[in-house]
């Protein structure tokens, strides 16, 4: 039985990254060429431009709102007491913001469904690799169920899903899943329906739907399964990349509003002067002019610093929590 598998990232021709799924045999002999490895058209590790554009738009809007709050309410600039360092202040603010965002992150661009989809397709691909002919119908049923999981996730049957056109509308990771799922729907499912539980008829029906010989049909079916797993991994990578940018934008938006409300001006704290703040720390000048511009830039830098610090802190806490759970769980579940 296959015991090792791992989605990894490789460099293909032209230095284009791809999501690769590799299935290893129990003897550590590596993969079977052409059968147990597949690469999706894209790794999905680059966030989509729509998410990036929306993130910058949200940050710009929050910056303008922060400027309006600062100009209208003129909060007194925060003064760090003696004996407390700047890093300690930033850590306290970032930690509080990260704890606020922790429950939100479970629902904000959630990756749970995509992870379950990847796990289902990957398990079906692994179980199929060393399957004997008499077990083929049962293992192909697992593959069919995994394909239905991807259909439920995308919400549109493969035969009815419109092809995305144009660079501004395409999502290569999602398109790759749709293509791989359609391959299962048009080749594996008809063979299952025609052959039923009979292993002898299954190979013949597979050969018919795959347009190949009976000797090669099982190998081609295994390749179809790994193609679906690779596409599911690429889509999960895409979701994670989108979530990282969206999470950063949300944290930065909250950081900007927090900075404007509490009077946290990072550059002023470290020594910026001529920024329109009076001796008591209140904003004493208008928006227009060099002093007003300095103050608005200070507000932006502070919001970016607070928002940028939440992601590494969130990852650190998540990794520590995962390591703690792994120690409690049996090794077979990891």
Contact between residue 206 and residue 221 where contact means Cβ atoms under 8 Å apart: yes
DSSP structure class, residue 277: B
Dihedral sign computed on CA atoms, order 47, 50, 51, 56: positive
183-199 pLDDT, tens digit per residue, is 888 888 888 888 777 77
State mean pLDDT over 320-331.
60
pLDDT on residue 205: 84
Contact between residue 129 and residue 2 where contact means Cβ atoms under 8 Å apart: yes
96-155 pLDDT, tens digit per residue, is 888 888 888 778 788 888 888 888 888 888 888 877 777 888 888 888 888 877 777 766
64-90 pLDDT, tens digit per residue, is 999 999 888 888 888 888 777 777 888
DSSP structure class, residue 288: S
Question: By C-alpha distance, which of 53, 57, 64, 55 is closest to 257?
Answer: 64
Question: Within 13 Å, how many C-alpha atoms sit on residue 150's CB side?
Answer: 36
Q: Answer yes or no: is pLDDT of 240 > 60.
A: yes
Predicted TM-score (pTM) of the model is 0.73
* Cα 251 from Cα 312, distance rounded (Å): 12
Burial of 109 from C-beta contacts in 10 A (0-12 / 13-18 / 19+): middle
User: How far apart are the two ends of the chain, measured CA to CA in Å?
Assistant: 18
CB neighbour list of residue 222: distance below 8 Å, 6 or more residues apart: 35, 36, 125, 128, 129
Helix (H) or strand (E) holding 253: helix 217-262
Contact between residue 297 and residue 267 where contact means Cβ atoms under 8 Å apart: yes
> What distance separates the 2 farthest-apart alpha carbons in the chain?
88
State mean pLDDT over 288-297.
86
Dihedral sign computed on CA atoms, order 254, 255, 256, 257: positive
pLDDT on residue 223: 86
* Cα 238 from Cα 208, distance rounded (Å): 35
Contact between residue 236 and residue 114 where contact means Cβ atoms under 8 Å apart: yes
Percent of the chain at pLDDT exceeding 90: 13
Partnered with residue 208 across adjacent β-strands are none
Q: Answer yes or no: is pLDDT of 159 > 50.
A: no
The edge-to-edge listing of strands for the beta sheet with 37-39 is 4-11, 17-24, 37-39
Q: Answer yes or no: is pLDDT of 213 > 70.
A: yes
* Cα 212 from Cα 76, distance rounded (Å): 76
Give the Å distances, CA to CA, from 24 to 38, 122, 327. 13, 13, 26
Structure tokens at 65: 């709102």
């Amino acid at each position: 039985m296959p015991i090792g598998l791992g989605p990894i990232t490789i460099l293909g021709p032209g230095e284009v990254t791809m999501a690769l799924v590799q299935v290893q045999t129990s003897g550590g002999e590596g993969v079977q060429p052409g059968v147990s490895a597949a690469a999706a058209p894209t790794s999905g590790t680059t966030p989509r431009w729509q998410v990036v554009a929306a993130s910058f738009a949200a940050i710009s809007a929050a910056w303008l709102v922060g400027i309006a709050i600062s100009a209208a309410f003129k909060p007194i600039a925060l003064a760090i007491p003696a004996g407390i360092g700047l890093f300690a202040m930033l850590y306290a603010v970032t930690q509080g913001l990260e704890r606020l965002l922790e429950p939100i992150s479970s629902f904000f661009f959630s990756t749970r469904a995509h992870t379950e989809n990847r796990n289902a397709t990957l398990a079906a691909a692994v179980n199929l690799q060393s399957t004997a002919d008499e077990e083929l119908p049962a293992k192909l049923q697992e593959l069919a169920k995994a394909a239905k999981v991807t259909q439920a996730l995308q919400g549109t049957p493969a035969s009815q899903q419109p092809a995305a056109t144009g660079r501004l509308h395409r999502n290569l990771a999602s398109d790759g899943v749709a293509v791989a799922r359609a391959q299962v729907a048009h080749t594996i499912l008809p063979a299952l329906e025609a052959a039923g539980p009979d292993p002898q008829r299954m190979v013949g029906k597979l050969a018919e739907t795959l347009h190949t010989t009976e000797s090669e049909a099982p190998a081609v079916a295994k390749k179809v399964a790994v193609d679906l797993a690779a596409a599911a991994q690429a889509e999960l990578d895409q979701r994670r990349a989108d979530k990282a940018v969206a999470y950063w934008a949300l944290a930065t938006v909250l950081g900007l509003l927090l900075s404007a409300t509490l009077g946290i001006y990072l550059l002023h704290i470290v020594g910026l002067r001529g920024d329109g703040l009076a001796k008591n720390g209140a904003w004493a000048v208008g928006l227009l002019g060099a002093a007003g511009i300095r103050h608005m830039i200070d507000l932006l830098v502070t919001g970016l610093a607070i928002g940028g610090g939440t992601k590494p802190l969130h990852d650190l806490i998540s990794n520590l929590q995962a390591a703690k759970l792994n120690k409690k769980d049996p090794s077979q579940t990891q």
